[in-house]
Each structure stands twice: as C-alpha cells, then as structure tokens.
Chains A and B, each alone.
Chain A
Amino acid sequence: MHLVVVVAVMCFPCSSCVFVTFRLLPLWLAGHRDRSRPAMFSKGTKRKFSDGEDEMPDDGLAGAKVASSAYSLQRQSLLDMSLIKLQLCHMLVEPNLCRSVLIANTVRQIQEEMTHDGSWQVVSDSLGVEGSPSERLVATEVLCRSPSPSSTLSEQELERDTEPRLYSLVSYDDSSCREEEVVAEVIEDDNEALCSEAASNVCLSGTMSHCWEPGELRVQQNNDDICEDSRLGSGDEDVDVEEEDEDEEEEQEMSQKESKTMGQVFGTFEIKNGSSGSESALEELFSDVDASYYDLDTMLTGMQSTPKIGPYDLLDNLGPSHGPTSIGSTANCRSDLNELDHIMEIIVGS
C-alpha cells in the first residue's frame, strides 16, 4: 500500500494553484535519504551514457542497472526541485526572470530526456497504476488550466483533455519543501477519498472536487520540436516506431501544457493584450493582473470581485469545461473579464 501525500502550493502573484501528489515509495519511507545535509550526488551530475550498457558483459549488467536507476532517481529529484523553485513566487517582489528562465530550461531538458528514455512509462508501470494501459502519469501542471484540445487528438484524448491534470510522481520528503503555504494531507490510497478530501481541505471552492477524478492519471510526452540538441540522450535514437506514433498526440498536448506552465511563470512579468483565444486570454490576463493578496471575504461569500481578483476567484472562473458549476455563472464571469480585458488594454495603452 502506498501513502499518498497531497500538497497544495499557492502562488499568489500569478494566482496559480498547483496540486502535487507524492506517492511515497517504500524506499523513501524507510528514510533512505539523509536529509540533514543538502542533497549532494556522490558522483556529481554527469550523465551516464546508457549506450555504454550495450557493450557491457552480462555480469556487468546488474551494476549498470543499479547505476542507471540511481541516475533516474537523481534526475527525478532534480526535476521536482526545479518545479518547486518555479512555483515559489515571492509575495511582494517580482521574481528574478533570469533565474526563472534557467530553471524552466532545466525542467524542459529533464522532461525531454525522460521522455526519450521512456522513463515516464517505466515510472508509471512500477507504481502499478490501475486503469487502461493508455492512462499514465502527467507532469506537474497548473490546476484548472484546461488546455485547448489539439486538432489531431483522438476522441479519447479529447475526453481526457477536458479533465484537469495531475502531478508528477515524486518521492520527496516533505521536510525539505521550503514553501510556507503548503497544505499537506496524507490520504489513503483511494482515489475517491482523494477527490473529496483534497477538495474540501485545500480549496474552499466547490470546483475543486472534479479535479481528482479516479483514474485520471496520464502521462504526457514532449513534443519533438522542443527537444533540440539540448537533449542529453545517449545518442541512440532507437525509440520504437509504434511508441512514437501513439506518443505523438500526447507529445503535442504535453508541449501545450508545458508551454502554458511556462507562460504562467513568465506571465507575471508582462501584461499581454489580446492573446488568441478567449480562454488563453483569460489565463494570461489573470496570471498577470494581480492577486498578490487574495480577498478572503470575496472568496467566502463567493462574490465576483471586479477590481481585485483573488486566486480562488480565479480558480472559480477558469475551466468552464469542468463538471460542477463554479460559484457564480461562467457567463457573467466572461463578460466581466472581457470588460476587464478592455480596461487593461486602455491602461497599458496598447
């Protein structure tokens, strides 16, 4: 049985809310890692070329496997660290753009490599995720950002698209998390319980309940376009052709999601006007305007606030394709937002 830890990280300036679920592997529960010192990889972070494994004799294979799994753990840990760094935004001062860009590039790099290694598949298999074979784990994502469906997606994908996304599978000791607004709940491994409890405890908005549908775990894979020569791949590109085919649709999704995540991060730095698509306009608009101080009254009374929009209001208003209705109708919200958009354009003087 696995222990599942649900963590909500609020980022007020860019009003995003990230839910990250950690499934604690027995390895970690046993206190495998010594957290008293900062994590230092004994062998540094040099990439171990996996094409070296092919030439190794059989008796060396076991050693190679151990080395590569250690490498994968290290890589995963680095990915999680990077994602946490990205989500942590300073309350009052604008975060450093250079630092954010560098971390985001590192995240991209790791995800590309993991995609091409096929590690996503491996990781999900090892946890024995139930459900159809095509359901896999996805990367950390901004909650309630419903991606616009790609035209090449199959119906099945489309259906899953409208559901919100989940979180990186990470074995990460809570004590090392540095964020202060973390709300953690240790829940039994029961997806239904996950739904309601997470919803009620973490977010007062009623819309949260739909986020935790059972069997909603999917893996998204990166678009090939993103991976340039920054790939740390071993060099042998023998990815299965059929794997590529079924991955491609998901890759496009992943790239969209990832780009939206990046957009969220960089959105705070810029007020954009008139981005394409009303939904993305909504997201970009709200990622910039505001919300460093959320209005508790607004949230509790469920009023649609016009001048100041708190993160919970934002979560209410986004994701109209999600099941249960938000507090306040979506239609009202959209007209308000269009107006706000218009006002913003005037102020910024586009």
Chain B
Amino acid sequence: MLLALFSIKCKFTCFNGTLYHKPHNTAHLFYIHLPTDIISTVEFNHSGELLATGDKGGRVVIFQQETENKCQPLSRSEYNVYSTFQSHEPEFDYLKSLEIEEKINKIRWLPQKNAAQFLLSTNDKTIKLWKISERDKRPEGYNLKEEDGRYRDSTTITTLRVPVFRPMDLMVEASPRRIFANAHTYHINSISVNSDNETYLSADDLRINLWHLEITDRSFNIVDIKPANMEDLTEVITAAEFHPHQCNTFVYSSSKGTIRLCDMRASALCDRHSKLFEEPEDPSNRSFFSEIISSISDVKFSHSGRYMMTRDYLSVKIWDLNMENRPVETYQVHEYLRSKLCSLYENDCIFDKFECCWNGNDSVVMTGSYNNFFRMLDRSQRRDVTLEASRESSKPRQVLKPRRVCAGGKRKKDEISVDSLDFNKKILHTAWHPQENIIAVATTNNLYIFQEKVN
C-alpha cells in the first residue's frame, strides 16, 4: 500500500501555450505546468518507460522515464518530454453540418516489437496508428548533395567517397502509419488492442468494430445495439476492452450499468452476450438519478485477467469474471455526493466520465474525484486514501498528505466540507505504471506524476 507519495520533477516548460521540450542532457526545470489545453487521456506504455497524454487540441505529448540510477530499483525517476505531435485536426462533417472535434479520446500503446514505438490515438471519428522512432545518427558525406541538401554542381565532383553515419542530437519523430476512418457514425469512446497484437476494437455509442492493424479500408462490426427505431433508444455503449490474455474475449459496458462479456468464437456478430454482469439495484437508494449514476464510465480488466473493474458515478466495483450476479468488491469513491445529485445534475457534473486503473499487481485500484482529489483503494488491506493533486500540496519531494471530506455535521480540522468542493476541478484520467509505483494524474490542464517514496 502506498503510504507516501511525492511529486517528481518534470523537465519541460510552457510558454504562451506552446510546449518546448528540452533535450535530455540539459539541466532540470521545475515546472509541471502543461499548456492550456485540457488533458483528455493518459496512458503508460507496456514497459512504463513512456507516458502518453492526449489533449483537447488534438495533440499528443509523450514523456520518457529517466531513472537516477538504473541499477537500483525504486530509485527516483523523472519523466521528461520525449515527443510532441499533432495527432488529429478539427474536421467538418458537411453532411450533417457539424464539427468533428479533434480532442483525443483515447490512446493505446502497442506492445513493442522493434526499436520503434507504436500507439493508436483516436478522436470521435478517426483512429490513427502512429510510429514514434528515434534518430540519433545521420548520414554525412554524400557525393551529389551538400550537407544542407542542395545539389552539388556536377562539374565540381572530382572524387568519390562513401557516406558515413555520424552521431547527432537525438531526434524523435512521429509519423502516421495508418488512418482508420469512416467506420463510425457515433462518437468513439474506446479502443483496445487485442492480445494477438494484430487486431483491435473501436467502440462508439452504439457499435463496436474490429480492425486489423494492417488494413485500413475494412472493419468488421461485432456489436450493434442500435434499435431499428432510434426513438426506442434507451441504452448506449460506454466503454469496451479486450481481455488481456484471451484474444477471443472482450467486454463492453452500458449506460444502464450492465457489462456484457462476449466471445468472438460464438458468432460473427456478438450481439448476444456470453455473460451479463449486473448488480440488482438497491431499492432503498432508488431515486430519479439512479439510472444516471449507475451508468458505467470505464471498464478495465485486471492484469491477471481474472477480474474486471467498473467505475460508475459514485463507486468502483470489482467483478470476478466467473460471477455475474454481483461484484465481489464495491468501493465508494465519494458517497457524500449522493445527497447532492440534483445540483450535480443541474450543472451536468453527474455526466462526468471518470476513469479507473489497476496497479501492476492488481492489489490497488485508483480513480479520480472532484476538487482535484483522487482515491487509491487497497484491495488486499481494505484501506483507502484520498489525495490531492495541486500545486500547493505537491512541492517536489514533498509527501502527499491524505485528505478528508466531511459529509455533514461538525467539520474537523483539516477536513473539507462537501459544499466547498470545487466541481470544476475534476480528475477524470489517471494511469499507473505497469511495474513500479509511479502514477500519473491529470487535472484539467496539469499533469502530475507521483512516485512512491523509498527511504
């Protein structure tokens, strides 16, 4: 269980909304302040060495981990900007006269197969496969060209030489390798790479499509919940994910609080689920908002593949894949909001989609809340803690202090009352390093990276 976390320095700075990344051998800077765009997704790669963030402006920023002492485990790490590129541009749908936002909804890394890194990034309509590669050598000594690229006058060439590779400053290039477009009528909310490393799924509000990473002009529809008459629509797909080990299994969650597990071997169209996970409603908590708060905003398999976690508005539930009728564990994230549901409905906060994540060994789960709070829930020790990601409370090397929210009655010292919570400061996106105890927490426009303190 993480008892002590402190923030670590990140080597980048921001000036007038433009992100400058420093080469790796320069001195440290202390800003952890990202440009004005709102972060919309955060994802570690499979080794944890790279951390990708996507923002509302369609940009992807990748950070690379640098450890103080590579030989020593648990030594201090830093994350520095590795690459920045514009992934998606705003588009206009002429048929519907509507804009297509360039906001990056999800980023998913592919497992590394060679020197280059690959990731999938998606906005509402289009998925792109990006190749991120390093270049630290460049050829010199061409016969026909000058060093700056101009062609030499052929009459001046008197000798032949063999070009050689000479080292240069590290350059990281991102290039789009595939563009998977025009397959979704509705807004894409999830992408998930299959364990076979050849296919991936993309899910929008009503359909899920299966793609092959090499083929961009075709995708297979595997789930379609669109009713014949749109007026009968009462349920939408909110998230979907492939099983981490079984390449035939995936789950998708709905706005009615159900999760369906489907087996692609059963049929080509997986409209009929293999398993349906649903917890019967607690009649004592029934209200007009029951359905809205039961809507699942995120679903994540555990690394082991035995469990899955779902996040609805007020709680996190852990499900055993072998038991469909109820979750094995339920954790309240911010139960004190239950009496405020009406105001949260009025200001639309009730529709916020919080994400959740597992730690490397599936013993702790993490999710965000309001007022820049985030919660870590230890499954094994049945303990939980609320922490805050803010500049004031996160000076470098300073251990994070647990926070408490006072639901009602007398407010103790150091507690915050529910009414003074800032609902504009929400942490929707969090990520956990797959091996180490390093977490990335995204507030509206800042990225915080915390590491477990080791003495």
Contacts and interface: CB of A to CB of B under 8 A. Distances in A.
Nearest to A42: B339
A101 B186 CA distance: 13
A18 interface: no
B95 to A, nearest CB: 7
Given A47-B287, A92-B99, A269-B185, 10 more contacts: A46-B287, A81-B346, A85-B348, A96-B187, A98-B205, A98-B295, A106-B289, A263-B231, A270-B185, A347-B95
A29 to B, nearest CB: 22
A73 interface: no
Interface of B: 95-99, 101, 124, 185-187, 205-206, 229-236, 238, 255, 285-289, 291-292, 295, 338-343, 345-348, 351
Contacts, number: 114
Nearest to B234: A105
Interface in A34-89: 38-41, 44-47, 74-75, 78, 81, 85
A43 to B, nearest CB: 8
4 closest residue pairs by CB, A with B: A263-B231, A38-B343, A259-B231, A45-B287
Nearest to B338: A44
A39 B287 contact: no
A292 interface: yes
A94 B236 CA distance: 16
A13 interface: yes
Interface residues of A, number: 48
Contacts of A288: 96
A260 B232 CA distance: 10
Contacts of A232: 286, 288
Which of the listed residues B99, B238, B346 has the most CB atoms from chain A within 10 Å of its own CB? B346
A259 B233 CA distance: 10
B283 to A, nearest CB: 10
Given A92-B99, A94-B96, A110-B288, A102 B255 contact: yes
B342 A266 contact: no
Nearest to B350: A102
Nearest to A85: B348
Nearest to B284: A46
21 contacts: A40-B343, A85-B348, A92-B99, A94-B96, A97-B236, A98-B236, A98-B295, A101-B234, A102-B291, A105-B234, A106-B292, A109-B288, A109-B291, A230-B291, A259-B229, A259-B232, A263-B229, A268-B96, A271-B96, A272-B230, A290-B97
A267 interface: yes
Contacts of B289: 45, 106
Contact of A39 (B234, B235, B291, B346): B346
Interface in A106-131: 106, 109-110
A94 B186 CA distance: 9
B342 to A, nearest CB: 5
Contacts of B185: 269-270
B342 A41 contact: yes
Given A97-B205, A269-B185, A44 B292 contact: no
A292 B347 contact: no
A261 B232 CA distance: 11
Given A102-B295, A292-B97, A44 B341 contact: yes
A75 B288 CA distance: 9
Contacts of A110: 288
Contacts of B339: 44
A44 B124 CA distance: 36
Contacts of B98: 13, 92-94, 292
B346 A13 contact: no
Contact of A45 (B231, B291, B342, B347): B342
A187 interface: no
A342 interface: no
Nearest to A308: B97
A262 interface: yes
Contacts of A81: 345-346
A37 B124 CA distance: 35
Nearest to A272: B230
Which of the listed residues A99, A267, A290 has the most CB atoms from chain B within 10 Å of its own CB? A99
A38 B186 contact: no
Contacts of A105: 234, 291
A260 B236 contact: no
Contact of B351 (A93, A96, A268, A271): A96
A39 B345 CA distance: 10
A114 B233 CA distance: 22
A98 B255 contact: yes
A99 B351 contact: yes
B186 A78 contact: no
